[in-house]
Amino acid sequence: MDFVLMHKNYPVAHIVMDDQVFMIAEVKEVYDPRRLPLGIEIVEGYPERGRLNNWWSERAIPASREFVRELLLQYLRHGSINFLLVKGLGLSLSDQYWIKPFKSDLVWENVNYFDNDFSEDIGNFLFDYTPTDSDEYDLFTPDTTTTGNLRKKWTIIDGVRCLIKSGTKPDYQEPLNEVVAGKIAERLSIDHIDYRLSWFNKRPVSICPCFVSRDTEFVSAARLIAPGKYPFHEFYDRFVANCVAHGLSNVSSFLDKMIVLDFLIVNIDRHFNNFGFLRNVDTLEWIGPAPLFDNGLCLWNTEQATEIKSGYVGPCKSFRRAHGEQISLVKDFNWLNLEALLDIDQDIFNMMSESPLISQEKAKALAWAINWRIDHLTQAIEKQQSVSAKPSRSHLP
């Protein structure tokens, strides 16, 4: 199957797609190498096919998402996740890449999800295992290019593209965490996506608007990781340097704020696909850091009150393995006003108490824990400011 890899209305490359596993079998011609997905190496005039296929596969809904296998095997009669990608032309609400059948007269204006309606068949099935009445599914939907393991679906509310996300058993705490993280970010003047809390089948869900527009796109940090093999402790510096080499500025200032927020909320899932940068699709110029989003796996969402009160802190996934080590990477704390978090513990207690699935004991423990984290951050700042030559690593939890 021949397609043209498109970037909005700009042809990027002529590709051949395998019709069994729906991977890119061949790149016949490159029309515009500048518009290839960032981070894909060009070898003798052609994109490295392995990396191009990794990028393609990473667009797909993960096979580990609940109900995906049932959908594929029982209803769609197909075993490949990438089958869903091809049927939806690879379109997304995160960027403007898509595939156009070769010699087709399709144009981006008529197929993109920012301007056109889309099906919610797949989203409804994967969100609450709700089959269609006819067992026939319209695969033209951004739900096939929405990554992550939590149940989620796209919908249109008052003309706005919105993502609805659920949580995990038994507390379904992640949607509440999203709202709490937003409250903390707002008080600290950290750019973030606003999540609002709603309820679906007596379970909390979070709802947020799409932060990408028809003229912009999200480029994940994963696409800006510096190439080559190097020690893990060099990862931060090499990442920042690679961002600068690609024309991004003020990267460290952005990372300072992200690291501080993640320290406070004990975010255990800040991987390189859930933060990044925005750029203009037409000019390829950088707009700046994307607002922080996807903060649900934090605040001890899988732990009970006794574990929280014990002082346990989960790992972090980005530049260090522990939050206490990672906070030492912050270059500048002058922007930070921790007094803005006065009485945030009460907000957290009130928010968690709204859910009948979270015990009062855990709600109290979380309120206590946020003050505990603020105290630790205060100590980390004082320690860093007292060292003038070479900062030592923090040994805080």
Residues 366-370, mean pLDDT to the nearest whole number: 97
Would the pTM count as exceeding 0.85?
yes
pLDDT digits over 356-365, tens only? 999 999 999 9
Confidence category of residue 389, pLDDT binned at 50, 70, 90: very low
pLDDT band at 395 (very low <50, low <70, confident <90, very high): very low
Digit-coded pLDDT (tens) for 187-215: 999 999 999 999 999 999 999 999 999 99
pLDDT of amino acid 392:
45
47: in domain: yes
Instruction: State whether 321 and 259 are in the same domain.
Output: yes
Is residue 178, in this structure, part of any structural domain at all?
Answer: no
Does 148 share its domain with 260? Answer: no
- Residue 394 is predicted with a pLDDT of 39
Question: Of 101, 134, 165, which residue is a domain's last?
Answer: 165
- Per-residue model confidence as pLDDT tens digits over 122-180: 999 999 988 888 878 999 999 999 999 999 999 999 999 999 999 999 999 999 999 99
Contact present, 367 and 349 (Cβ < 8 Å): yes
* Residue 362 to residues 42, 89, 314, 365, Cα–Cα distance (Å): 52, 45, 17, 5
Could you tell me if residue 201 is inside a domain?
no
Does 207 reside within a domain? no
Encode pLDDT of 223-245 as tens digits: 999 988 999 999 999 999 999 99
In whole angstroms, give the CA distance from residue 397 to residue 387.
20
Span 300-353, pLDDT tens digits: 999 999 999 998 998 999 999 999 999 999 999 999 999 999 999 999 999 999
DSSP-assigned states of every residue in 63-88? TTSTTHHHIIIIII----HHHHHHHT
- Examine the domain organization and report whether 81 and 159 are in the same domain: yes
Which tokens sit at 390?
A: 């070479």
Higher pLDDT, 94 or 391: 94
Q: Are residues 237 and 374 in the same domain?
A: yes
- Confidence band, pLDDT 50/70/90 cuts, at residue 397: very low
Residue 273: alpha-carbon gap to chain centroid = 5
Judged against a pLDDT cut of 80, whether residue 388 lies above it is answered with no
Based on the fold, state whether residues 220 and 161 are members of the same structural domain: no
**Are 240 and 94 contained in the same domain?**
no
Asked whether residue 233 falls in the same domain as residue 361, the answer is: yes
Per DSSP, what are the bridge partners of residue 64? none
Question: What is the pLDDT, as a whole number, of residue 362?
Answer: 97
* Residues 19-28, mean pLDDT to the nearest whole number: 94
User: Per-residue pLDDT tens for 25-74?
Assistant: 999 999 999 999 999 999 999 999 999 999 999 999 998 999 998 988 88
- CATH number of the domain where residue 253 is located: 1.10.1070.20
On whether residue 202 sits in a domain, the answer given is: no
Count: domains in the chain: 2
pLDDT of residue 314: 87
Higher-scoring residue by pLDDT: 393, 291:
291
For residues 228 and 311, membership in a common domain is answered with yes
Q: Considering 131, 165, 199, which residue would you say is the last residue of a domain?
A: 165
**What confidence score (pLDDT) does residue 391 get?**
42
Q: Judge whether 394 lies within some domain.
A: no
Check whether residue 8 and residue 156 sit in a common domain: yes
Distance CA 173, CA 179 (A): 10
Same domain, 53 and 154: yes
Query: Which residues are CB-contacts of 123 (< 8 A; sequence separation ≥ 6)?
Result: 141, 143, 152, 153, 154, 155
Q: Is residue 139 domain-shared with residue 252, that is, in the same domain? A: no
In a domain, 160, yes or no: yes
For 158, phi then psi, to 5°, come to: 50, 40
90 and 232 fall within a common domain: no
- Structural domain that includes position 7: 2-165
| 161 within a domain of the structure (yes/no) | yes
pLDDT confidence of residue 77: 83
- How far does Cα 66 stand from its chain's mean position? 18
pLDDT at 387 over 80: no
